[in-house]
């Protein structure tokens, strides 16, 4: 009888092994596949070759659009060729929405996902904006869930720069080293405008009129389809309204009633004044590395250097 029992035991052991082995393999595979949150599909191959698996495969799942609301205001903001957020070190910016949308017509965008390519972690914010060109210092204008504006720095980590929130934050179209100058921010709160630095220190008092542009000395305001200049203490400069204002560092080109003026805001002096024009279209300005060249009706009129020097051609 003993040999029979041993044979039966051996057969049972073999059967159990055959059943258990596939289960063990499946268990191990399941741990590898899900335990480390490895993407099951590669819906988007991100910068650097990292795969992202979309939550919404039939909606919009791709790189995030900038949340730009600047066209509601007078600010002379950057309007470049791309509407996507630029990436920052280990982070990419995505939108993973159950529905498709037209970014040009959408009032409320899907949330922006700040996706860590190394860890796969996601942080969702209501919106981000770096104008598609980037702000110096890896700063990003952010939108909170309450519709207010704040500022983030996204580099090796994600950090909110200051606690105060505004009704709007933007920067003017001033490019330094291929990115927008972030040293000054235009903010709106309770229908009052001012300029702050990157740490939320006020550089000006509050203004009633919308800020159009600025440099380190002068602010151009927009009112009733015209522009005027003030200093940082809200003292009106030049005593005139202008049809067009263009900033080139300290040099400001102004047009009023078909007359052209060039003002050096560093020395508070006109370099050119009362140059007659037939129309605004008569003026062409070419920007060089150290100067601008002003042409009128196809003829070069003057070269104005950013340090205040002037060369007249006729």
User: For 138-161, how does the pLDDT look when each residue is reduced to its tens digit (9 = 90+)?
Assistant: 999 999 999 999 999 998 899 999
Phi-psi group of 268: left, alpha or beta (phi > 0 → left; psi -120 to 50 → alpha; rest → beta):
left
- pLDDT tens digits, residue range 232-258? 999 999 999 999 999 999 999 999 999
Mean pLDDT across 50-73 = 92
| Cα–Cα distance, 166 to 194 (Å, whole number) | 11
- C-alpha triplet 229, 235, 241: angle, nearest 5°: 30
What is the Cα–Cα distance from 177 to 103, expressed in whole angstroms?
A: 28
pLDDT at position 100, please?
82
- Residues 231 and 218: their CA atoms lie apart, in Å, by 5
Which of 302, 202, 201 lies closest to 248 in space, CA to CA?
A: 302
pLDDT one-digit tens code per residue, 77-126: 999 877 888 888 889 999 999 988 777 766 678 999 999 988 999 999 99
The SS3 call for residue 234 is coil
In this prediction, residue 30 carries a pLDDT of 28
Please identify which residue in the block is written with the tokens 């979309």.
Answer: 54
| Residue 201: predicted pLDDT | 98
Judge whether residue 39 has pLDDT over 60: no
- CA 189/CA 21 separation, integer angstroms: 67
């Amino acid at each position: 009888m003993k040999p029979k029992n041993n044979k039966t035991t051996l057969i049972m052991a073999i059967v159990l092994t055959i059943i258990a082995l596939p289960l063990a393999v499946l268990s191990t595979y399941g741990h590898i596949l899900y335990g480390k949150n490895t993407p099951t599909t590669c819906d988007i191959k991100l910068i650097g070759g990292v795969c992202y698996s979309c939550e919404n495969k039939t909606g919009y799942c791709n790189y995030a659009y900038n949340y730009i609301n600047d066209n509601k205001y007078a600010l002379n903001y950057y309007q470049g060729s791309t509407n996507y957020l630029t990436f920052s070190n280990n982070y990419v910016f995505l939108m993973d929405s159950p529905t498709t949308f037209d970014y040009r017509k959408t009032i409320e965008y899907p949330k922006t996902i700040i996706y860590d390519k190394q860890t796969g972690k996601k942080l969702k914010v209501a919106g981000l904006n770096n104008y598609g060109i980037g702000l110096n210092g890896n700063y990003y204008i952010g939108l909170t869930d309450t519709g207010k504006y704040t500022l983030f720095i996204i580099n090796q980590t994600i950090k909110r720069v200051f606690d105060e929130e505004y009704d709007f934050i933007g920067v003017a179209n001033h490019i330094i080293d291929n990115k927008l100058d972030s040293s000054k921010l235009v903010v709106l709160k309770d229908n009052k405008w001012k300029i702050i630095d990157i740490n939320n220190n006020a550089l000006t008092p509050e203004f009633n009129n919308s800020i159009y542009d600025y440099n380190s000395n002068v602010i151009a305001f927009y009112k009733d389809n015209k522009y005027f200049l003030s200093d940082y203490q809200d003292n009106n400069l030049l005593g005139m309204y202008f049809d067009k204002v263009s900033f080139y560092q300290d040099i400001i080109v102004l047009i009023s009633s078909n007359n052209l003026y060039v003002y050096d805001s560093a020395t508070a002096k006109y370099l050119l004044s009362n140059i007659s024009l037939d129309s605004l279209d008569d003026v062409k300005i070419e920007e060089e590395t150290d100067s601008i060249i002003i042409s009128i009706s196809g003829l070069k009129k003057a070269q104005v250097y950013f340090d205040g020097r002037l060369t007249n051609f006729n």
